[in-house]
Amino acid sequence: MEQNTRYHIRRMKDGDIPQIVDIDRDAFPTQWPHPTPNSFRMELRNKLAHYFVIYRDNEDGNTADQPRPGGIKRVTSFLRHLLNHDRFFGTGPVVASREYLVGVVGIWMMVDEAHVTTIAVKSSHRRQGLGEWLLIVIIDLAMALHAHSVTLEVRVSNTVPQLLYEKYGFTIAGTRIKYYQDNHEDALIMSTDKLASPAFQSRFQQLKEEHRKRWSQCYTLS
Ligand SMILES: CC(C)(COP(=O)(O)OP(=O)(O)OC[C@H]1O[C@@H](n2cnc3c(N)ncnc32)[C@H](O)[C@@H]1OP(=O)(O)O)[C@@H](O)C(=O)NCCC(=O)NCCS
């Protein structure tokens, strides 16, 4: 990890979508079909959906890396223009985010349940507490929106995120047989206990505090 790294979290916006598509493909290389830029645009307009991104900057606040550095500049800028021009929703040109994005998380608020639609950290930035930070943020949001619980699906073979979810008290609530279209793998349904229960609250607040203490020594979270 570089010294003086600062990570920030904010809601996702249209200009993030090209980088989010890259993060998604990096995180789920075998997935089929892949979400398209339009699927993320629709999510931004979906009133049930809440998406957040983590981005990083260097010490003086400038962007540490330029996303998608130009190879064949004229072609890429034209493609980027097409990609960023939101002609399907008629909102006009979208300015590409300058920040360097390293993670994304999304939930849908379904009545009183918060359903995690995606959570991913760039492979180059894993094991630095960023995935955990994304999970903390959406659990906090779910509580603020008075969700009863948080739930998600995860591939049976995808054991790393299962360890993260277990750390936060998710347990297996069921299985969706042949849920994934690409290889017909089963999904585990994992769910928290009642968010408002004293047991969940005390565990969550403790984990959140431990996360803050542990990682604030390495980088700035804001
Ligand atoms: C799951 C994912 C988001 C975790 O992100 P991350 O930033 O690397 O995770 P963190 O550093 O915050 O780790 C938090 C906890 O997750 C678990 N964990 C994460 N990576 C792990 C690994 N490689 N081995 C074992 N446990 C791991 C641990 O419990 C860890 O807590 P600890 O540091 O106290 O051991 C990341 O691996 C990812 O993007 N994977 C690909 C996408 C994906 O599968 N998403 C889930 C879809 S359901």
Record: fold of 6-221: Aminopeptidase (3.40.630)
Q: Report CA(136)–ligand 1 centroid distance (Å).
A: 13
Residue identifier of the C-alpha nearest atom 14 of ligand 1: 132
Look at residue 98 in the predicted model and tell me its pLDDT: 86
Look at residue 121 in the predicted model and tell me its pLDDT: 98
Residues with catalytic roles: 153, 165
Look at residue 91 in the predicted model and tell me its pLDDT: 52
Look at residue 79 in the predicted model and tell me its pLDDT: 43
Look at residue 32 in the predicted model and tell me its pLDDT: 86
Look at residue 219 in the predicted model and tell me its pLDDT: 74
- β-strand partners of 106: 51, 118
Look at residue 5 in the predicted model and tell me its pLDDT: 81
For the chain, the domains span: 6-221
* Peptide bond preceding 33 in cis form (omega within 30 of 0): yes
- Do 15 and 84 meet the contact criterion of CB atoms below 8 Å apart? yes
Q: What is the pLDDT along the chain (222 residues), one digit of tens a residue?
A: 555 688 999 999 999 999 999 999 999 998 888 999 999 999 999 999 999 999 987 544 444 444 444 433 444 444 444 444 444 444 556 788 889 999 999 999 999 999 999 999 999 999 999 999 999 999 999 999 999 999 999 999 999 999 999 999 999 999 999 999 999 999 999 999 999 999 999 999 999 999 999 998 777 767
Q: Measuring CA to CA, which residue among 97, 109, 133 is closest to residue 212?
A: 133
CA distance 172 to 168: 12
Find the angle CA(140)-CA(172)-CA(28) to the nearest 5 degrees.
75
Look at residue 150 in the predicted model and tell me its pLDDT: 98
Please list every protein residue whose CB sits less than 6 Å from any atom of ligand 1: 27, 119-121, 126-132, 152, 154, 158, 160-161, 163-164, 167
Look at residue 115 in the predicted model and tell me its pLDDT: 98
